[in-house]
Structure 1
Amino acid sequence: MRKTFQPGRLALLLLLALPAFAAGRAGIEPEHFDRSVRIQDNLYQAVNGNWLKHTDIPADQSEWGGFTELHELSQKRVRELIEAAVAAPDAPESQQIGALYRSYLDEDMANRLGLAPLKPLLAEIEAVADRRALTRLLGNLPSRSVVTPLQPHVGIDDKNATRYLAALNQGGLGMPDRDYYLKSDARFKVVRKAYLSYLTTLLREAGFADADRRAQAVLAFETRLARIQWDQVTLRDPHKTYNKLDRKGLARVAPQLDWNTFLDGAEMGQVQEFDLGEPSYARALARMVEQEPLEVWRDYLRTRTLDEFAGLLHQPLVQAHFDFHGKTLSGMTEMRPRWKRAVRFVEALVGESIGKHYVAKYFPAESKAKMEALVGNLLKAFDQSIDGLSWMSPVTKRQAKEKLQKYRVKIGYPSKWRDYSGLEARPDDLVGNAIRGQQFHYRYDLARLGQPVDREEWGMTPQTVNAYYHPGLNEIVFPAAVLQPPFFYPEADDAVNYGAIGAIIGHEISHGFDDQGSQYDGDGNLRNWWQPADRKGFERLTSKLVQQYNRYEALPKHFVNGRLTLGENIADLSGLQIAFKAYQLSLNGKPSEVLDGFSGEQRFFIGFGQAWRSKAREPAMLQQLVADPHSPEAFRAIGSAMNSDAFHQTFGTKPGDGMYKPESQRIRIW
């Protein structure tokens, strides 16, 4: 969870019985077990080991597991819905979907056009002859999909959650994180070399002379940009990244930047208040705008533009884009089929238009009812858990319970659908569709300034394989696609369902009380509602979790960053604890049933462990360790279970077992 909510950046989590998820009434999948490993030694390996040994990551994927399998299913379903719209284009909405899809599929046209669709943008960059023109373009390009060093956007005001606020945040790097530029590890050096080659290819394909020298200058420029950027851990602090300023305040922070020109370019000429996310970065960036040679700035903006649109252009640039982003950064060996890329493109622009059809076909009313019951039980369990906290005072407990009571739960799909009728889509203009689509969404956000916060809006489409908590709205959201195996088995006993989908629900509930979410009150405002001693007690507990995850080595000499992943680790730990309590409540005092030789309590933890099965390629794992707030899946399963008293009681762990942790050392937060 980031202060500024960004759909799709959270952990991937989806009633169709697939062979891969063929489980009986027990809900467990024993064919995936490694019988040579005891659960007491390694829960993750014991329930997933055979799957890990015999499963290959598809060539067009960077990772593979239950989450990504379900994403593939969702893509196939969406493809069918899109193609149905193409076949029956009577309604304007279907015509729009069809035009976007056909424009992407027309590879022959993309090859014939070459760089022609980008010529107007490249000409604007070429025309930059002074600092004022540069500043205006830096503000304007983000509205047309090009990432620049200072990104304008609109979000909810952290300290007044009833209104929207314009925001400005750092950006503009071509590699995933500043570490890729600054770390001396051999893996990062390999990526830097590949990135330099990619930049050279982009410039050469665009017809620029002396491409090697230009690319080196761009890489050096981006390295200087990386040095002034805030690191991922600092960006997780909502107080440090909340800096509301008027225009005079912006000028005081970074006087070298012509803010009026930049904001005019960003179509924010009339906006008076801003949240400047990283003030020291903005100050240093202003000096770069003033001092870096215009020639370097132009080449930098050319490469950012070419990189952004390379996948939509002719084959040499499409291949170069995949070679770097797919192969080098993610380890993929094969490009995704064009239809998959087309589906993603259409969804990004008119996702809710497709979502309407998805819900009608794949989300029966009984699925929503079952989800509502599960969420209700988890919220009840969390409320009871607050009562039992030994480290929290009664005063703060009351505040926590008040926040929980204000939670809003959204399940399945929005109560109202987005209107995309203002977006012009042409079947013969792929790049134009991408630019107009970005402008459409950017201007939609701008129009919200001065309006009340829309609490009915969703940050994800119904067909998205995901879920989220939004701190500014104090809501948990579960798209329709989340209620499927291996997270939810409609015909199975409750135990596995509580261990899988229950832990996911508990995870999202717990985000409101993790190290970030706990700084927001029940109305969504960044406000301290804690007693000082309670906050210190909370930080003592969470520091122990940081230390635990810091010890996990995911790649040789590359460890999990316990501070970066703290929020997700808290949510995993607390979600598991709360889900188990909810499962116990569901039994109504009766003993659990033994199925397939396992008690209900054992199946609960097996369900939790098998939900996290996943394999990732090394480059993708490196990227996750550097820039992703989620721990690798194996550690998410192991790390949470090791702190669970119920896990140790259920499986009778003892000293010497791999999963054993003395009771006095177990971390219990919520």
Structure 2
Amino acid sequence: MNKKNYLTVAAMTLAVLSSCGGQKEVKNTSGIDLANMDTTVSAGQDFFRYACGGWNEAHPLTAEYSRYGTFDQLAENNQKQLRELIEGLAAQQNEQGTTAQKVGDLYNMAMDSVALNEQGYTPIKPMLDKIASLTDKKQIIPMAVEMRRNQGIGTYFSFYVYADPKNSALNIFQMGQGGINLGEKEYYLDTDSITENIRNEYKKYIGKLFTLAGFSEAEAQQKVADVMEIETSIAKKSRSATELRDPEANYHKMSYADLKKQIPGIDWNAFMIGLGIQPPTELNVEQVEPIQEVARLINVLPVSKHVSYLEYNLLDAAASCLSDDFVAARFDFYGKVLSGRQVNQPRWKRAVNSVNGMLGELVGQMYVEKYFPAAAKERMVKLVNNLQVALGERIDAQEWMSDSTKVKAHEKLAAFHVKVGYPDKWKDYSKLEVKKDSYWANVCRASEWGFNDMISRLGKPVDREEWLMTPQTVNAYYNPSTNEICFPAAILQPPFFNMDADDAANYGAIGVVIGHEMTHGFDDQGRQFDKDGNLKDWWAEGDAERFKERAQVMVDFFNNIEVLPGLHGNGQLTLGENLADHGGLNVAYLAFQNATKDAPLEVKEGFTPQQRFFIAYATLWAGNIRDEQIRVYTKSDPHSLGKWRVNGALPHIQAWYDAFGITADDSLYVAPEKRVNIW
């Protein structure tokens, strides 16, 4: 399933959990590691450095990483544990069709560098030849559909089956913009020197793939021009990452007949036949203009240019699954140029990630059986309940919101579907075959399995028990269409969740994450969905305007942050996540006060409980990052940089000022009248 534009998560998705061990006695420690801090820096001057400076000094960036933080540290530990699980299966003889056979054989093929290098690009040559044989524009869309269905390769535009935003109980067919491999339209259109350099390096990368696939230099350069012409044309009509954050503006439900009228340049009957479905009565076209541009390009450009474009999409998608020269070419651009990484991950890490990506819930079942303690889930459920109570109190306390809207907000809060740990029902992979032909062939089979699983849902009720993350994912999410908050098992470990720590650390860390996801239900996007997950205006007259006025304070504040010399944050793009951090901090702090009011915690490690709450929060965002990655995130990531999720979020929280005695003389001080005040 394509990721929804307004599906939000607590942090960048990474990999899986290290061992939590079995249930054990709670030791009630402080949860604070003094070595992570740099107390030579004033809390009011740079709280990020104050709380995380020691950790950052002890974990400098290595050549493998463009960003290394607490998430990445957990990912490394998790990868090692998964490696042990997977290699144990890969080393034995397994019966065909079993989980062990699928996991083990796929891993072995990803690790077999000798076979991969001997094969070169031969695994994709039949498909390259098939694309090259196109002679008529009528063949273009059926070929694009075949690539998406059989290889999982997206081209001109995206399409998927998921909940109708305005009828969340039903899965419908949906389409949206796509077709630009750099992801964001600005990479094709901005004229600053840094972006132009990225564009030039991108052209070199495209050309390199074609020459590796046997094309002459002259042929490759012509194909580079073809690809850039099509991608740039689509980019011009595409919406920016910020524009995609408006759910109402990206919803255009229409009949199949209207689709044909609005975008007549595509043979939609052939498109549906390629998908293997009957034309739907109604569908949602999220962004109409980019698809109209695709129709124009198909009809005005020679077929040869589309052949180049489709060939490149195949090469780009397959490069990481082919011989070492293809892998190196892909890394040189996406890793070095875009992100600033210096060396690729070792093969075993890439192989683990691949197995995890294609067989996610099979791996998840193995992980849960070995590493997930029941006691963690029990304590987590209690925390969630306490946070729900606190958010309800925060809603009641808002003077800017009318009573009728508060009633609706409480109804939505009470209707939250909470998922903790792992799904009650696992995905069925029995129809997915893993064969010992080629690594790429298995990638294609896994993609086709996923496509068929998605298409099978068309016209059926939404399964509200389905998980959108695997249990071994260190993350969390809120999904507005199902009004659910989900906390996979893998996030229930330090520094997020510590069974040995007292409430100060746990409410400051996992408590804020819980509050963050709950607040997404009431951020600038989530607030537009009702308790049943429908895109519907449930706010009383005037309340939405008052909300927007207060949210604009957050937009302006983050717009003024200079993340690099001459480069400012994007307050509108990051608004939802910043509001969720703000709400998460306020709600978790209130829940912490409620939980400890009858038995106040002691000073530990020289810090009051209130101080440890905020130190625990800041520790989540410890990390170092390269300038190149900062630029990537600033263009495309709805989350603010880790440093500013600390130094940008805390100055709007009065309890932080009280805990550390922050005054107007401190550089992080923000006057009360200029602070964000929503949830």
Give the structure 1 partner of residue 48 of structure 2.
44
Amino acid across the alignment from 2:320: G
Query: Is the Cα–Cα contact under 8 Å of residues 5 and 245 in structure 2 kept in the other structure?
Result: no
Give the structure 2 partner of residue 137 of structure 1.
143
Per-residue CA deviations over 1:557-609 (Å, capped at 9, x if unaligned) read 11111001110010011001101001001113443311111110011111111
- Residues 7, 597 of structure 1: alpha-carbon distance in 2 compared, 3 angstrom cutoff: closer
DSSP 3-state at the match of 1:489: coil
Question: Which has the higher mean CA deviation after the structures are superposed, 346-355 or 388-397?
Answer: 346-355
Question: Which has the higher mean CA deviation after the structures are superposed, 461-470 or 71-80?
Answer: 71-80
DSSP 3-state at the match of 1:230: coil
Provide the C-alpha distance between the structure 2 equivalents of 1:231 and 1:270, rounded to a whole number of angstroms: 30
Give the structure 1 partner of residue 399 of structure 2.
390
Per-residue CA deviations over 1:290-340 (Å, capped at 9, x if unaligned) read 112211111111111101001111121111011111111111111111111
Query: Is the Cα–Cα contact under 8 Å of residues 161 and 472 in structure 1 kept in the other structure?
Result: yes
- Residues 654, 497 of structure 1: alpha-carbon distance in 2 compared, 3 angstrom cutoff: same
Give the structure 2 partner of residue 57 of structure 1.
61
Aligned length: 666
Query: Is the Cα–Cα contact under 8 Å of residues 25 and 491 in structure 1 kept in the other structure?
Result: yes
Provide the C-alpha distance between the structure 2 equivalents of 1:560 and 1:127, rounded to a whole number of angstroms: 47
Give the structure 1 partner of residue 595 of structure 2.
586
- Residues 195, 550 of structure 1: alpha-carbon distance in 2 compared, 3 angstrom cutoff: same
Q: CA deviation at 1:6?
A: 6.5
Per-residue CA deviations over 1:67-106 (Å, capped at 9, x if unaligned) read 1111122211111111222245247111111121112111
Q: CA deviation at 1:65?
A: 0.8
Provide the C-alpha distance between the structure 2 equivalents of 1:7 and 1:388, rounded to a whole number of angstroms: 26
Give the structure 2 partner of residue 117 of structure 1.
123
Provide the C-alpha distance between the structure 2 equivalents of 1:341 and 1:113, rounded to a whole number of angstroms: 19
Give the structure 2 partner of residue 85 of structure 1.
89
Amino acid across the alignment from 1:258: D
Per-residue CA deviations over 1:384-428 (Å, capped at 9, x if unaligned) read 111111110000000000000000110000001111010110133
1:436 equivalent to 2:445? Answer yes
Q: CA deviation at 1:258?
A: 1.6
**Aligned partner of 1:417 among 400, 423, 426:** 426
Amino acid across the alignment from 1:241: N
**Which residues of structure 1 form unaligned runs of 5+?**
none
The residue correspondences of 1:3-22 to structure 2 (distance < 5 A) are: 3=4, 11-12=12-13, 16=19
Quick one: percent identity of the two aligned structures? Answer: 38
**Aligned partner of 1:160 among 147, 162, 167:** 167
Provide the C-alpha distance between the structure 1 equivalents of 2:7 and 2:527, rounded to a whole number of angstroms: 19
Amino acid across the alignment from 1:542: A
Provide the C-alpha distance between the structure 2 equivalents of 1:510 and 1:154, rounded to a whole number of angstroms: 27
Give the structure 1 partner of residue 73 of structure 2.
69
Provide the C-alpha distance between the structure 1 equivalents of 2:553 and 2:440, rounded to a whole number of angstroms: 49
Give the structure 2 partner of residue 191 of structure 1.
198
Per-residue CA deviations over 1:535-577 (Å, capped at 9, x if unaligned) read 1100001011000010111122111110011100100110011
Give the structure 2 partner of residue 343 of structure 1.
352
1:401 equivalent to 2:410? Answer yes
Query: Is the Cα–Cα contact under 8 Å of residues 241 and 277 in structure 1 kept in the other structure?
Result: yes
Provide the C-alpha distance between the structure 1 equivalents of 2:172 and 2:658, rounded to a whole number of angstroms: 49
Query: Is the Cα–Cα contact under 8 Å of residues 3 and 238 in structure 1 kept in the other structure?
Result: no
Per-residue CA deviations over 1:81-139 (Å, capped at 9, x if unaligned) read 11222245247111111121112111111111111110121122112111110121123
**Aligned partner of 2:525 among 504, 512, 516:** 516
- Residues 183, 519 of structure 1: alpha-carbon distance in 2 compared, 3 angstrom cutoff: same
Q: CA deviation at 1:2?
A: 6.8
Provide the C-alpha distance between the structure 2 equivalents of 1:476 and 1:409, rounded to a whole number of angstroms: 5
- Residues 272, 538 of structure 1: alpha-carbon distance in 2 compared, 3 angstrom cutoff: same
The residue correspondences of 1:157-556 to structure 2 (distance < 5 A) are: 157-209=164-216, 210=218, 211-556=220-565
Amino acid across the alignment from 1:654: T
Provide the C-alpha distance between the structure 2 equivalents of 1:95 and 1:195, rounded to a whole number of angstroms: 39
Provide the C-alpha distance between the structure 1 equivalents of 2:110 and 2:387, rounded to a whole number of angstroms: 43
Amino acid across the alignment from 1:202: L
Amino acid across the alignment from 1:190: N
**Which residues of structure 2 form unaligned runs of 5+?**
22-26
Provide the C-alpha distance between the structure 2 equivalents of 1:71 and 1:345, rounded to a whole number of angstroms: 14
Query: Is the Cα–Cα contact under 8 Å of residues 138 and 265 in structure 1 kept in the other structure?
Result: no
Query: Is the Cα–Cα contact under 8 Å of residues 2 and 236 in structure 1 kept in the other structure?
Result: no
Query: Is the Cα–Cα contact under 8 Å of residues 408 and 538 in structure 2 kept in the other structure?
Result: yes
Q: CA deviation at 1:54?
A: 4.1
Amino acid across the alignment from 1:100: L
Question: Which has the higher mean CA deviation after the structures are superposed, 70-79 or 567-576?
Answer: 70-79
DSSP 3-state at the match of 2:430: coil
Q: Give 4+ residue runs of structure 1 displaced > 2 Å after superposition.
A: 1-18, 50-55, 84-91, 262-273, 588-592
Question: Which has the higher mean CA deviation after the structures are superposed, 43-52 or 515-524?
Answer: 43-52
Query: Is the Cα–Cα contact under 8 Å of residues 138 and 262 in structure 1 kept in the other structure?
Result: no
Query: Is the Cα–Cα contact under 8 Å of residues 467 and 482 in structure 1 kept in the other structure?
Result: yes
Question: Which has the higher mean CA deviation after the structures are superposed, 630-639 or 131-140?
Answer: 131-140
